[in-house]
Chain A
Amino acid sequence: MAGSGTAHLRGDGDSLLRVEHLLVEFPVGRSGLKVNAVTDVSFDILEGETLGIVGESGCGKSTTGRAVMQLPPPKGGRVVYDGVELTSLKGEDLRAMRPRLQMIFQDPISSLNPRRKVKDIVREGLDIWNIGDKDSRDAKVLEVLEAVGIDPANVERRPHEFSGGQCQRISIARAVVTDPKLIICDEPVSALDVSVQAQILNLLEDMKARYGLTLVFIAHDLAVVKNVSDRVMVMYLGKVCEVAGPDTLYSQPAHPYSAALLAAIPVPDPGSRPAAAASAPAARGPSRSAGRRSPSCARWRQASTWRATSRSSPERRSPSAGRPRCRSRRRSRRARPRRQSPQPLRTWRPPSTDAKKSSTSSWAASSTLT
């Protein structure tokens, strides 16, 4: 099925987290239908790496993050963390893994308990797992709070006395205090101002270096994701569109959806309106075939038309399992002739494998490029 390849996975032994064929479904009321929130997603992360996950809201990026945490456990697939298959664990065994995987949430203020003091919020993980004695816990809490830039004099305060940026720092302190190897950051800077966002992004880099963290960084802002990531995964409608290194992805997006996302970013420069960028594709990526219309050019044109169409995301009910097709097809203008044919799905042919050789990045649904 399109979007479900495993070619981008690396060797089995050296990855800290390896996710294979992840499947998450939610029931729709009592109708018996289900939403395929995440369908057959595979990725891996090496130790010390940062994987950025981008996509629109509703594309399943947060659900992927939560499924890795087993909150709730996925319907299918394997999640192997540090040699342990989390998907096979239950009850106490799974709970014992929890301090080693942590999460940072989008809304810094509502994700902290308003009735507890900051030092107690940060300390809670240590108390639950009985790590060290009382004094060493206090010392650890102060050390971590200091590392994230919270004045130790303020540890008796409660979250409402802090600004959004400071609350996000406390969330980060709370996450690193149990010495996890992997932290899943679910839109950690989306609710913050640009100036505070820069502080938090720098802080995450510092914490990564100081505590040897591996991060999964989920966000919808491509510039932010590029800034922190070693690898970027683009998701659309519960599937992987493209996995690539940030520099490759941003200079030569292989999937039209990635290109459309890039074209939609507002650039803080009045000279390059998004529409203007769409008409000047040559500067963005080299053309790949001589004598023919450059594929990057075609993608850029499409990227601009994509933005202009107001078609909302296609519905994900009524599962399409087993049908090979590109999920972004319905919003793509280039796919229109197929859409108008009476049986669109059956006239579709799987992409030829040659297309994959032309780029270092792997992508799904390369059909629109051929």
Chain B
Amino acid sequence: MTQPASAPTVSTAGPSEPLLQVEDLRTHFETPRGIVRAVDGVSFTLARGKTLGVVGESGSGKTVLSRSIMGLLPKRGTIREGSVRFDGTEITELSPKEMRDFWGARMSMIFQDPMTSLNPVMKIGKQITESIRQHLDVDKKYANELGENLLRSVRIPEPEQRLKEYPHQLSGGMRQRVCIAVALACGPALLFADEPTTALDVTVQAQVLDLMATQQRERFMAIVLITHDLGVVAGRADEIAVMYAGRIVEKAPTSVLFSDMKMPYTEALLSSIPKIEHPSHTRLNTIPGRPPNLVTPPQGCKFAPRCTYVQPRCLEEDPPLMPGTQPGHEYRCWFPVGTPEGAEALARNRADQAVTGGAA
């Protein structure tokens, strides 16, 4: 099962070049309300076999980012700028026809909702073998065998039976496994998982994530794991990018992000999750307000209107991505968490709040 994964990925890229290199990617949509800056200057690199977790609230541009990289957005009304190099090839310039050699074969995607991402009037077997027959030069019988093996590898019992069934005959977890099997069919080098477990329960979620990790090891596949739950990426990703208002606001190796987070948004996101070790009826910390309007984003730091560390400078100057003390750590903040400036800013805001609160 491991060999087909690497077979079609012969390329001009040297071994040192990362699999995916995104530079200053901007994806804007033209709408009647104005231009929506859904992705606004995102850069990252992803090596083979590694996992990048992308975390953010809904509307932060995570899904648009993944679709923009894959070239799945409609041409009309979409402005895409920047560079996406996949395995040594610049893919932003390619036409949809040329992209077909990449889709399914070399990069594929798992969507959030397993109920709607499978074709309800097509048998499971046909949906899995479709891309195998398209991309690999195999006959129908062999494609069916491959399909059966794929279903077995995603741990679906009685695969030969399931191939002849329709999606509605399977449970949600089973359907998501089928989606994974479809995505893995041609042994892609890069897998986008867009909220793969949001629609599933905890036990099934753990199974699906474990399954993705196993497949990743066996196929030496890179994964971009998109989620709003920091708990999901904590144990799974090598690196985490936190997105807010179409930008990466903090990016760090997983252990660094959790031990030494600098961005107040990351801190706020983490503290709003109910923790199992807290006693019941613990009041949760919330992030006040809502994500900014991406048509007319605020001047300065985009998170400033909701930030507890906010200072006058934040409202005027937009912070650039600054390197942290540890390698690979970057963040956008003038008054980072865990630094003297940050502590001072927070203390000042708390004092101001106490004064205005007392006056009122």
Chain A residues with Cβ below 8 Å from B275 are 223
Tell whether A197 pairs with B272 under 8 Å between CB atoms, given A220-B202, A268-B258, A310-B207. yes
Whether B141 is near chain A, meaning CB under 8 Å from some CB there, is: no
> In this assembly, does B95 line the interface, its C-beta being within 8 Å of a C-beta of chain A?
no
Contacts of A269 in B (CB 8 A): 234, 258
Residue pair A58, B234 in contact (C-beta under 8 Å): no
Question: Given A194, A199, A312, which contacts B173 in the complex, CB threshold below 8 Å?
Answer: A312
B280 CB contact (under 8 Å) in A58, A199, A230, A273? A230
What is the chain B residue whose CB lies nearest that of A331? B203
Q: How many of chain B's residues touch chain A, expressed as a range?
A: 35 or more
Contact in complex: B274, A226 (CB < 8 Å): yes
The yes or no answer to B293 lying at the interface (CB within 8 A) is no
1/0 per residue A305-323: CB within 8 Å of B? 0111011110000000000
Asked if B270 and A227 sit within 8 Å, CB to CB, the answer is no
Q: Are A261 and B283 in contact (CB under 8 A)?
A: no
Contact A223 B235, beta carbon cutoff 8 Å = no
Please state if B280 and A264 are interface contacts (CB–CB under 8 Å). no
Q: Does A85 contact B (CB under 8 A)?
A: no
Is the beta-carbon distance between B258 and A194 smaller than 8 angstroms?
no
Contact B235 A274, beta carbon cutoff 8 Å: yes
Interface string of A196-224 (1 = CB under 8 A from B): 11110110010000000000000011111
Residue of A nearest to B211 (CB): A310
State whether the Cβ of A260 lies closer than 8 Å to any Cβ in chain B.
yes
> From residue A260, how far is it (CB to closest CB) to chain B in Å?
7
CA of A163 to CA of B58 in the docked complex: distance in angstroms? 10
CB–CB A266/B286 < 8 A: no
Inter-chain contact A57/B285, CB cutoff 8 Å: no
**Which of chain A's residues have a CB closer than 8 A to the CB of B202?**
56, 220-222, 261, 264-266
A198 touches B284 (CB 8 A): yes
Alpha-carbon distance A223/B200, docked complex (angstroms): 16
Cβ-neighbour of B276 out of A267, A270, A307, A308 (below 8 A): A267
- How many interface contacts (CB-CB < 8 Å) are there between A and B? 139
Is B268 in contact with chain A by the CB < 8 A criterion? Answer: yes
A56 to B269, CA, bound (A): 26
**Do residues A273 and B285 form an inter-chain contact, with CB atoms below 8 A?**
no
Q: A271 to B255, alpha carbons, bound, how many Å? A: 8
The reply to whether the CB of B24 lies closer than 8 angstroms to some CB of chain A is: no
- Asked if B203 contacts A267 (CB within 8 A), the reply is no
Name the residue of chain B whose CB is nearest to the CB of A249.
Answer: B280
Is the C-beta of A127 less than 8 angstroms from some C-beta in chain B?
no
**Cα A13 to Cα B57 with chains together (Å):** 46
> B180 at the A/B interface (Cβ < 8 Å)?
no
Contact yes or no, A310 B155, CB < 8 A:
yes
Distance of B59 from chain A, by nearest CB (Å): 8
B287 touches A (CB below 8 Å): yes
| Contact present for B58 and A202 (CB under 8 Å) | no
How near does chain A come to B11, taking the closest CB pair, in angstroms?
Answer: 32
A74 touches B (CB below 8 Å): no
> Does B157 sit within 8 A of A, measured CB to CB?
yes
**Interface pair B234/A194, CB less than 8 Å apart:** no
CA gap between A310 and B214 in the complex, in Å: 13
Does A262 sit at the interface, judged by CB under 8 A? yes
Q: Which residues from 248 to 276 on chain B have a C-beta closer than 8 Å to any C-beta of chain A?
A: 254-255, 258, 268-270, 272-276
Is residue B78 within 8 Å, beta carbon to beta carbon, of the partner chain?
no
Q: When the two chains form their complex, are residues A202 and B284 in contact, meaning their CB atoms are under 8 A apart?
A: yes
Q: Which one of B35-43, B225-233, B331-339, B345-353 contacts A?
A: B225-233
Q: A-B pairs with the 9 shortest C-beta distances?
A: A310-B155, A266-B231, A198-B272, A198-B284, A273-B235, A227-B274, A264-B206, A268-B231, A246-B280
Which residues of B approach A to under 8 Å, CB–CB?
57-58, 155-157, 171-174, 200-207, 209-211, 228-232, 234-235, 254-255, 258, 268-270, 272-276, 278-287, 290
What are 24 A-B contacts with C-beta separation under 8 Å?
Answer: A163-B290, A194-B272, A196-B57, A198-B273, A198-B284, A198-B287, A202-B283, A202-B284, A221-B202, A227-B280, A227-B284, A228-B281, A246-B280, A250-B276, A262-B276, A263-B206, A264-B202, A266-B202, A268-B231, A269-B234, A308-B207, A310-B156, A312-B174, A313-B171
